[in-house]
Structure 1
Amino acid sequence: MKIRFTPIAAAIGLAAGIMMSAGASAADTIKIAIAGPFTGSVTQYGAMVKEGVDTAVEQINAAGGVLGKQLETVTIDDGCEPKQGPVVANRVVNDKIHYVVGHVCSGATIAATNIYNNEGVVMVTPSATSPAVTDGKGYDMIFRTIGRDDQQGPAAAKFIIENIKPQKVAILHDKQSYGQGIASSVKSELEKAGIKVVLFEGINAGDTDYSAVITKLKSEGADFVYYGGYHPEMGLLLRQGAEQGLKTKFMGPEGVGNPDINAIAGASVEGLLVTLPADFTKDPSNAAIVKAFTDKKRDPSGAFQLTAYSATKAIADGIKGAGVDDPIKVAAYLHANSVETPIGKISWNKQGDLNDFKFDVFTWHKDGSKSVYK
């Protein structure tokens, strides 16, 4: 692989160095950047990923670290904004960080991946599900520890077809890479099965009044609504729909599976259906890891804590397997080997996607808990 440093990266090098948090020298530690939203409306997802990375790093360091060195994390905020993806990526490059867990949101991830790949940085996203992160890119350095929308979307559609059996489905999305992508996948699968999609429409993320689209849902007679996007908008759709007498059941992807949706939707959240990674906290082999989370008052059961832990472990095991802190060799090792993680024994295909990943359907409850759909 040809590694090159971009003019943009060189230009912001001094500023990035000043912004860098103080820590041990590179000779003493191996740095891993945590890239995601730590400001904005979906900071909870960044917090989930950070909890997973922090717990993994603490356990790895307590066991002696990697190649005799301790892991050190550097948290960098992209606000879930695509335009911030390259800014964060260039900061990582200029700070000579070789490994990234993140980005969290698909749009920011897509915007950053080309820089990481060109500059020889291993990036493992625990949450970005859009196929566009990897499809057709020929990347060597980009990996996931979560499934893709074209795995999650068909899983959701199969559930709708077999369990809900609706007559008229409305599909909404937030017009963004992640939300629109998974909504389109669900629409395609439903239409193949002969399910009528009476409405496929984008809403503006960040709006506070969705009464117009709720009126459309009622006028179209939709008996089921799928929404592709994040929890702030889903919460408002649920609450405002209930206020306007909409009785339709809603479903969404893992982006809506956040406890903060309860504060937005109130009691109307009860019965929301959500596709999420399987609840790996129930696996008895993860008992010690779950305890490590709870001992630090962290919740391991969210959408991305254990996928982030697994991303961190994959990086650490990749360095150990390569026998050297060299991201090019680490990427080659990961492509050629499987890794034992809390989400199972994982391996990747040529473009860095998991060979296998399971999404389950959960019912969300008004007390903030969730249960596997039965």
Structure 2
Amino acid sequence: MKRFAGFPAALAVALVMAACGDGGGKGGDTVQVGVEAPVTGQYASFGAQLTNGGQLAVEDINAAGGVLGKKLELDTGDDACDPKQAVAVANQMTANGVALVVGGYCSGSSIPASKVYAESNTIQISPASTNPVLTDDRAGPNIYRVCGRDDQQGGVAGKYLAEHFADKNIAFVHDKTAYGKGLADETLKAMNAAGKKEAMYEAITAGEKDYSALVSKLKQANIDVLYFGGYHTEAGLIIRQMRDQGMNTTLMGGDALVTQEFWSITGPAGEGTLMTFSPDPRKNPAAAEVVKRFKDKGIEPEGYVLYTYAAFQAWKQAAEKAQSVDSAEVTKALNDTEFDTVIGKFRFNEKGDPNLPPYAVYRWSNGTYEQLAGDEAPKAAAN
């Protein structure tokens, strides 16, 4: 497995082309494939989800004979959820002739990287980037995702807030990222459409440690529920600082809270936190054998681990239908196939989005998260 760091794109292209000639994806006995993920930085726990999913997928595909008789060779590119670094990684990947890139995680890096993949005819399948722009403003027909979208996720969250907190003061806070602001705005739009108005709308800067000023403002406004559009680190810090100021306020967020690292940050202060995520693929009977293999390796396949695995499965099935790993031929098959994967059966629509089941609401409790029944009322947050 090769690992690319995020150095300047022009140098990356020159070095990789010098080392690899016409690229590992262009011929020979192997096919180059890649994972683009935040291997380092504050989102590295999600990068681990993508790299773990990709490594076992490639291992399993190769053990079953590869794709069209060729073994896969996995490259890993560290985009650190930084747009410029993501473009550099995309240039490295395409120069190396990869046939497929699964990634990235953060929408703010996946969207600019998708332009590079589109221009080079490299298939990109994101397992985790949920901002609608990725496919609404699709850079090319070879760009896909196997996760849901923030307008879907926000629709579920907004309706839940309106129904379960109709008489409460609800604040919205986002972290100014493509993911965080987009999700907060979609949730707010859905909540307003359901007849509930917000009490406050604020923004923070991601990466800061002290949110006491924000918390004081929330406390003064008697906020009962905080909807946070952003990632697990900031969410965890805000929860802890709310508890430090004696606030019982319930926090609700999105799929970026689907990592054990969230509870590592909050501890018991995270009790009762709500979030939206797709139906847990670990409970899919079709995934049982793969889930066991992950656990045998000491890996809990939470969050987007199985989505990454499924992206490789879909590409393999499309390549075998096309009888080719050529991007144009595989793209045609991706558009005209029902895939049977660990996250369920699905097809891609004309935008490159999957027709998977809708989002559900989950609650963190005692260090784990469980899906709530549709009519289940939330429990109070811990003091």
Give the shorter-chain TM-score range. over 0.9
Matched residues in 2 for 1:173 and 1:65: separation?
43
**Paired residue type of 1:212:** A
Q: Would the alpha carbon gap of residues 297 and 18 (structure 1) be closer, same or farther in structure 2, given more than 3 Å must change?
A: farther
Paired with 2:159 and 2:56, the residues of 1 have a C-alpha distance of 35
- Return the offset for 1:19: 8.5
Residue aligning to 1:347: 347
Match of 1:5?
A: none
1:316 is matched with 316
One-letter identity of the residue aligned with 2:343? I
Name the aligned partner's letter for residue 341 of structure 1.
T
TM-score (norm 2): 0.91
Measure how far apart 1:285 and its partner are.
2.5
Distance 2:127 2:349 in 1: 16
Counterpart in the other structure of 2:99: 98
Distance 1:334 1:287, change over 3 A: same
Shift of 1:370: 1.1
Amino acid in the other structure paired with 1:354? P
CA RMSD of aligned residues (A): 2.0
In structure 1, the partner of 2:381 is none
C-alpha distance 316-262 of structure 1, shift in aligned 2 (>3 A): same
Q: Report the secondary structure of 1:225's partner residue.
A: strand
Kindly indicate whether the alpha-carbon contact (under 8 Å) linking 1:146 and 1:357 is maintained by their aligned counterparts in 2.
no
Partner of 1:48: 49
Q: CA-to-partner distance for each residue in 1:307-333, whole Å, 9 max, x for gaps?
A: 111101111111111101101111111
Aligned equivalents of 1:357 and 1:87: distance in 2? 34
Q: Given the two structures, how large is their TM-score scaled by the length of structure 1?
A: 0.93
CA displacement 1:285-324 (0-9 Å, x = unmatched) = 2221111211222112x11011111101111111111101
SS in 2 for 1:260: helix
Taking the aligned partners of 1:229 and 1:15, their CA distance within structure 2 comes to 36
**Matched residues in 2 for 1:207 and 1:16: separation?**
36
Q: Cα 1:193–1:19, aligned 2, differ >3 Å: closer, same or farther?
A: farther
Quick one: percent identity of the two aligned structures? 37
Q: CA shift at 1:135, angstroms?
A: 1.0
Q: Which amino acid aligns with 2:100?
A: Y
Structure-to-structure mapping, 1:77-92, within 5 angstroms: 77-92=78-93
Aligned residue pairs: how many? 364
**Residue 165 of structure 1: how far off its partner (Å):** 2.9
CA contact (8 A) 1:10 1:94 kept: no
The residue correspondences of 1:1-374 to structure 2 (distance < 5 A) are 12-17=12-17, 27-137=28-138, 139-300=140-301, 302-366=302-366, 368-373=367-372, 374=376
Deviation at 1:9, TM superposition (A): 6.6
CA-CA distance at 1:68 after TM superposition: 0.3
What residue is the counterpart of 2:379 in the other structure?
A: none
| Structure 1 pair 291–91 and aligned structure 2 pair: CA distance change class (3 A) | same
Kept after mapping to 2: 8 A contact 1:149/1:185: yes
Q: Deviations over 1:142-179 (max 9, x none)?
A: 01110000011101112222233343210111100000
Note closer, same or farther for the CA distance 1:23–1:262 as it changes in structure 2 (3 Å cut). same
- What 5-or-longer segments of structure 2 have no aligned partner? 1-7, 377-383
CA distance 1:161–1:315, shift in 2 (3 Å):
same
Aligned residues of 2:255 and 2:275 also touching (Cα < 8 A): yes
User: SS at 1:108's partner residue?
Assistant: helix
Evaluate the alpha carbon distance shift between residue 110 and residue 25 of structure 1 in structure 2; reply closer, same or farther with a 3 A threshold: closer
Distance 1:13 1:285, change over 3 A: closer
Stretches of structure 1 that go unaligned for 5 or more consecutive residues are: 1-7
Q: Compared with structure 1, are the counterparts of its residues 361 and 328 closer, same or farther at alpha carbon in structure 2 (3 Å cutoff)? A: same
Deviates more, 1:174-183 or 1:62-71: 62-71
Distance 1:11 1:284, change over 3 A: closer
Distance 1:328 1:64, change over 3 A: same
Alpha-carbon displacement from aligned partner over 1:158-211 (angstroms, at most 9, x marks no partner): 222223334321011110000000000011111122212111111010101001
Distance 1:10 1:333, change over 3 A: farther
78-87 or 276-285, which deviates more: 276-285
What letter is aligned with 1:287?
A: A
Q: Deviations over 1:335-354 (max 9, x none)?
A: 11111111111111112111
